[in-house]
Structure 1
């Protein structure tokens, strides 16, 4: 890989990163990045092949990490970073909370929360979408599922922001100092969740934490430390996709007024529009995998023990899979995007994120006649996540 084409050399702008994807798909679709210490994978078919083969491309990178107490504790129950068979057993436990029936039953509660949040700013000519709706809605839903007080959501946001706002590391495997900093950022969340788990052991309730405490895997109950990893992933990852999806949806509708007019005329178009938002501005742009044996990706031989970064946001812009891929097309069909991943690690919360985004977008458009993005928007580094931290709106209420 030549100088200037590596990850850390790319501008921290959405347009700059999308341009990098296009250049790399055309000229170096499976690229060794010496400075970063990983292969980048940019094409849709190659990404899908990598994500479809967990035996060759492992999700468990913990063996490469320097020792760090908090991260090691968190990883015990973080099934996102596990391989079969352990991954499959632990995922099955959590999947019971996200079945289509369970998720569908949340619709009335999601509607109520959305209306209450918008009631708080009703009539205001301007408000921040993130602070008002896009953050508190999904975090309240996930907090209620887990059984922690939604009133603590300001604390949850501090933890999420400290993890998500970290600077892009110069190497894929961070050094000890960076890992220790990450561990410090996670300590308060780990302590909070451990206290909650112990409280639920003493006082069971009708929530996911109690379900996990009672569950058995291979005849064994989960430890408190394993449950911490479960709950931490659900609390952070369980809201951030919906938060960024909502900010990205409003951004796309603001910059594509024909699409906005079309979904206002016919709200049944909102689900397809949201799928296009997920493709066009994918919340999590990349994943990470480790080769367990020598492998071939895109015709390139890759040795065992190498890290691959499948750039799903680039795969979602691949012209060979999506005609006119750089065009926002709210009626796009088919739209087999990779925004929620692919294979055994496909996002377990995808049905919930889709439901929350559909209901919130529908209600927002019903209650606000005109929605425009105002000055002052702040965005995450798109090399790490796509979405707004702050999204001020000006609006006319109906």
Structure 2
């Protein structure tokens, strides 16, 4: 039985999610979900407008979200959940150390790590591409960038698995579910905070040429980051920074397999790989929803929304809005331009986007060079993450042939 026949009989996350996003759009660009008590924003224009207006739509959810002591410590340097002017200060400081030149300079090291990881499976015709490449590659790269021992990458992987697995959550979690989940993963957050704080203190005493050392000396208007603020950012980059690339690579290979001929097109014209990466990002955003809080009363697409309301902004649905994309339900690796919203929009545009894109391009090019074919022998053997947290695969067995 061919893979397409199996997929017809066994709907997967990759089938269910697009149908759900389409159903959300069919209900209108903005709507209230009575069951979960949230506003859902799904139209491209409205999603972009919300993300571009941090004054009206706050990223600080603390007034309406469950709290937990260990997460409060983590939040101090996590500018993803901050509004101006605090957001500007931290982002400006971090930008001094994490420059485009720094990211571009990582390319040779990314290529070397990719090659070493694939060398480790050189004698195998079947392997789990997540375990072999998609997980370790970005963890090793980010650990080296931060000056953290790359030998601890299994520990970082365990943290990410706990924080993003969503094992404590159903498909439609409510506040009670979130509170239970926070309590369940609090020990992991505590361990992560302690580890990163120890690393920062070590770097204060023994500075190097790594990103952490540069963060310690970065300043704006004479102000430098405090240790706990650096903890939040380093932990964010170490954990969230690698999981995006892991999901992107896994999603790419699964999607290519479901669209026969795609790898051949990219092998014949490697110049299309960057466009293919963007189309995978549009097609399956790793984090398909973002939360925002209304800071004041607002009218959005004719709906009056009171202050301190929770909005769930659906990137996955917006990325397939026919009002913005031609043939949005078609996967097209030649699509250009591709103004998807997967990395956000406005002041909170994903800080790690350039690194994730670079890692994905290099890894895919190396896979194309190494293997004549990369096939998912059975989609029933794929293990998916909980899509209410992250869209990606935990395990992806592939079969390969070499020249």
TM-score range, shorter chain: over 0.9
Name 2:33's counterpart in structure 1.
33
The RMSD of aligned alpha carbons is 1.6
- TM superposition shift of 1:217: 4.3
Identify which range, 305-314 or 89-98, moves more after superposition. 89-98
Tell me which residue corresponds to 1:278. Answer: 281
Match 1:396 to one of 371, 393, 401? 401
| Equivalence for 2:103 | 103
* Residue in 2 that maps onto 1:263: 266
Alpha-carbon shift at residue 22 of structure 1 (Å):
0.9
- Displacement of 1:12 in angstroms is 8.1
**Unmatched 5+ stretches in structure 2:** 1-10
Q: For 1:385, which of 390, 394, 402 is the aligned residue? A: 390
TM-score (norm 2): 0.93
Query: After superposition, what is the alpha-carbon deviation per residue over 1:197-228, rounded to whole angstroms, capped at 9, x for unaligned?
Result: 11111111111111122223443332221111
Task: Please tell me whether the aligned partners of residues 122 and 397 of structure 1 are also in contact (alpha carbons under 8 angstroms).
Answer: no
> What TM-score does the superposition give when structure 1 sets the normalisation length?
0.94
Q: Superposed, which structure 2 residues align to 1:223-372 within 5 Å?
A: 223-372=226-375
Q: What is the distance in 1 between the residues matched to 2:66 and 2:366?
A: 47
Report Cα offsets for 1:232-275 as digits up to 9, x if no partner.
11011211111111111111211112222111111111000111
Shift of 1:370: 1.1
On the 8 A contact 1:21/1:314 being kept in 2, the answer is yes
Once residues 16 and 259 of structure 2 are traced to their aligned partners in structure 1, the CA distance between those partners, rounded to angstroms, is 20
Q: Distance in 1 between matches of 2:348 and 2:176?
A: 21
The corresponding residue for 1:168 is 169
Contact 2:263 2:368 in 1 (8 A): no
Q: What residue in structure 2 maps to residue 6 of structure 1?
A: none
Residue equivalent to 1:5: none
Secondary structure in 1 aligned to 2:321? Answer: coil
Partners of 1:216 and 1:99 in 2: CA distance: 15
- Who is 1:7 aligned against? none
SS in 1 for 2:261: helix
Q: Secondary structure at the match of 1:62?
A: coil
Match of 2:57 in 1: 57
Q: Map 1:44-193 onto structure 2 (within 5 A).
A: 44-166=44-166, 167-168=168-169, 170-172=173-175, 176-193=179-196
Query: Which stretches of structure 1, 4 residues or more, deviate above 4 A after TM superposition?
Result: 172-176
Shift in CA distance, 360/175, structure 1 to aligned 2, threshold 3 Å: closer
Contact 2:130 2:250 in 1 (8 A): yes
| 1:89 Cα deviation from its structure 2 partner | 1.3
Q: Any stretches of 5+ residues in structure 1 without a counterpart? A: 1-10
Quote the offset at 1:29 in angstroms. Answer: 2.8
- Does the Cα contact within 8 Å between 2:92 and 2:220 map onto a contact in 1? no
Deviates more, 1:201-210 or 1:357-366: 201-210
Q: How does 1:188-227 map to 2 (within 5 A)?
A: 188-227=191-230
Deviation at 1:137, TM superposition (A): 0.8
Pairwise CA distance, 1:102: 1.8
**Offset, 1:17:** 2.3
CA distance in 1, matches of 2:74, 2:12: 29
- Cα gap change, 1:16 to 1:172, in 2 (>3 Å): farther
The answer (yes or no) to whether the contact 2:39–2:312 under 8 Å persists in 1 is yes
CA contact 1:64–1:173 (8 Å) conserved in 2: no
Structure 2 CA distance, aligned partners of 1:97 and 1:141?
16
CA 250–177 in structure 1, closer or farther in 2 if over 3 Å, else same: closer
| Number of equivalenced pairs | 388
Aligned-partner Cα distance in 2 for 1:204–1:237: 24
1:311-348 alpha-carbon deviations (Å, 9 max, x no partner): 00110011111111111011112210011111100011
Supply the distance in 1 between the matched residues of 2:341 and 2:285 (Cα, whole angstroms): 8
In structure 1, what is the Cα distance between the partners aligned to 2:291 and 2:108? 36
Kept in 2, the 8 Å contact 1:38–1:172? The answer is no
Any conservation in 2 of the 1:291–1:306 contact (CA below 8 Å)?
A: yes
Distance 2:314 2:50 in 1: 11
Q: 1:257 to 1:145 in 2, by over 3 A?
A: same
Contact 1:56 1:293 in 2 (8 A): yes
Report the Cα distance in structure 2 between the residues aligned to 1:175 and 1:342, rounded to whole angstroms: 26
Matched-pair contact (CA < 8 Å) for 2:97–2:215 = no
Q: CA deviation at 1:67?
A: 4.0
